[in-house]
Amino acid sequence: MNNEQSLAFLSKLEKVIQDRLQNPSEESYTSKIAQKGVNKVAQKVGEEAVETVIEAVNGTEELLKEEAADLIYHLLLLLNYKGLELKDIVKVLEKRHS
C-alpha cells in the first residue's frame, strides 16, 4: 500500500464512522461509544494516547502499531463527533507548512 492508498483508506474509514454516527446500529462499536457522549469518546482518545506512548517507550513495534491504530481511529471518531473532519485538521497543518 502506497501513501496515496493509505490516505484514501483513512478517508474511507472516516466515511464509515460518519455513517455509524448518523445511522447508529447495535452491533457497531462506533455507535456504542458515541452514544455514551463526548466525555467517553474523548476519554478513549486519552487512553489510547497513553497506551501508544507506553508502547513507544517500552513495547514492541507490533504493539506500537496496534495502539497507534486505536489512537487514530478514536481521534477520527472524536473529530467527527465534534462536527469536524480529517480535512479540517489537514488544512491547519497545510497553513503551518507555508
Ligand X SMILES: N=c1c2ncn([C@@H]3O[C@H](COP(=O)(O)OP(=O)(O)OP(=O)(O)O)[C@@H](O)[C@H]3O)c2ncn1[C@@H]1O[C@H](COP(=O)(O)O)[C@@H](O)[C@H]1O
Q: Applying CB under 6 A, which residues contact ligand X?
A: 13, 16, 20, 28-31, 33, 44, 47, 70, 73
- Per-residue burial over 55-87, b if 16 or more Cβ lie within 10 Å, else e, is beeebeeeebeebbebbbbbbbbbbbbeeebbe
Query: Count of residues for the chain?
Result: 98
Between 29 and 82, whose beta carbon lies closer to ligand X? 29
Minimal distance, residue 97 CB to ligand X, in Å: 28
Between 33 and 78, whose beta carbon lies closer to ligand X? 33
Between 84 and 94, whose beta carbon lies closer to ligand X? 84
Q: What single letter denotes the amino acid at residue 16? A: V
